[in-house]
A = this chain, B = another copy of it.
Amino acid sequence: MADMPHVLVVGAGAIGSFYGAIAKRAGCAVSVVLRSEYDVVRERGFAISSPLGDLSYRPDHVYRDGDTPVATPDYVICCVKVLPGIDRAALLAPWVGPDTGIVLIENGIDIEPAVADAFPDNPLISCLAFIAVSRTDEPAVIEHKAFGRLTMGAWPAGVTDDCRALEALFTDGGINVKLADQVVGERWAKSLWNTPFNPLSVLADGADTVTMLDTPGGEALAREMMAEVKAVAAADGHPLPDDAIDKNIAGTRKMPAYRNSMALDYLHGRPMEIQAILGNVVALAERYGVAVPRLSTMATVLAMRDRLAEGDA
């Protein structure tokens, strides 16, 4: 056990503290960097209820900005929200040593370059989380409701020994891991749903999936937006299967009415990952010369709202 890896989580919200718990369960030393919940976690650790059992744990070290790590971690797990004005590379820099593997568990398209450019010599592992986990009203008390699977690959492509080591670790900790040779393609597959539906639900004032699809013209609009995403994905070298849109719509139709995470962020007045989910897709479309009139309409309208809110503030 002496050489179990040391994992450090930057951005230990619901998702970050959950995957920290999984690493802890696998026997790793797990440290966290916190802002608002520093004192609470230092005192009591994280309380995490889960169908996997009680995942509560005390991190081996609890850091805050400006601290120096006791030991250089083997893996830094970055679960920071991808937002304009948040310099994730700067947040990671104090904790990353020359051999530290950087693990992104974050949403969105084209979110790796900002980190990769800052740490060109470190292994970079890109992950997508399929999980239902949320904070509660009480600080550092987390509720894991369902799922937890990670899709994981080296960025920009491939499955490295680092990936396999991390896969083994998370599997030991109790979750499923899918290794992906083309993790960017996996991001596009997830984006096919998220890029239309997340911002659409915000523009539609927090509407759920059934409301959106059952509105006359709603399903057609969702399909057209998905086709725009699909075209950008193909231009980016990651063509999606022909039936991807049909399958996504059918899958959504099978679920009960559902408010996605961005709709919930909107309804709670929290920052939204619009740039990562939508803006970066529109930017890639421009770079490749792919027409995305519906997606860019949404992106511009949401930018107008931001500008209005800034002006009103």
**Closest CB-CB distance, A167 to chain B, in whole Å?**
40
B307 touches A203 (CB 8 A): no
Q: Which of A87-146 contact B (CB under 8 A)?
A: none
Check A294 for interface membership: any CB of B closer than 8 A: yes
A167 to B69 alpha-carbon distance, docked (Å): 83
Mark A232-258 against chain B: 1 for CB-CB distance below 8 A, else 0: 000000000000000000000000000
Q: Please, which residues of chain B bring their CB within 8 A of the CB of A301?
A: 200, 203-204, 221
A207 touches B304 (CB 8 A): yes
B304 touches A204 (CB 8 A): yes
A168 to B207 alpha-carbon distance, docked (Å): 51
Check A174 for interface membership: any CB of B closer than 8 A: no
A304 touches B224 (CB 8 A): no
Q: Please, which residues of chain B bring their CB within 8 A of the CB of A206?
A: 308
What is the predominant secondary structure among interface residues of chain A facing chain B? helix
Q: Please, which residues of chain B bring their CB within 8 A of the CB of A306?
A: 215
Check A271 for interface membership: any CB of B closer than 8 A: no
Check A212 for interface membership: any CB of B closer than 8 A: yes
Mark A207-223 against chain B: 1 for CB-CB distance below 8 A, else 0: 11001101111101100
A311 to B207 alpha-carbon distance, docked (Å): 10
Which of B216, B294, B304 meets A293, CB within 8 Å? B294
In the complex, the count of this chain's copies comes to: 2
Leading 5 A-B pairs by shortest Cβ distance: A204-B304, A293-B293, A217-B300, A221-B300, A215-B304
B293 touches A215 (CB 8 A): no
A200 to B300 alpha-carbon distance, docked (Å): 10
B297 touches A211 (CB 8 A): no
Q: Which of A262-313 contact B (CB under 8 A)?
A: 293-294, 296-301, 303-309, 311
B221 touches A296 (CB 8 A): yes
B217 touches A299 (CB 8 A): yes
**Closest CB-CB distance, A285 to chain B, in whole Å?**
12
**Closest CB-CB distance, A209 to chain B, in whole Å?**
11
Check A172 for interface membership: any CB of B closer than 8 A: no
A262 to B300 alpha-carbon distance, docked (Å): 19
Most buried by B among A306, A308, A311: A308
B308 touches A205 (CB 8 A): yes
Residue of B at shortest CB range from A301? B203
Mark A163-175 against chain B: 1 for CB-CB distance below 8 A, else 0: 0000000000000
**Closest CB-CB distance, A208 to chain B, in whole Å?**
8
Most buried by B among A207, A294, A301, A311: A301
**Closest CB-CB distance, A308 to chain B, in whole Å?**
5
Which of B216, B217, B220, B305 meets A204, CB within 8 Å? B305
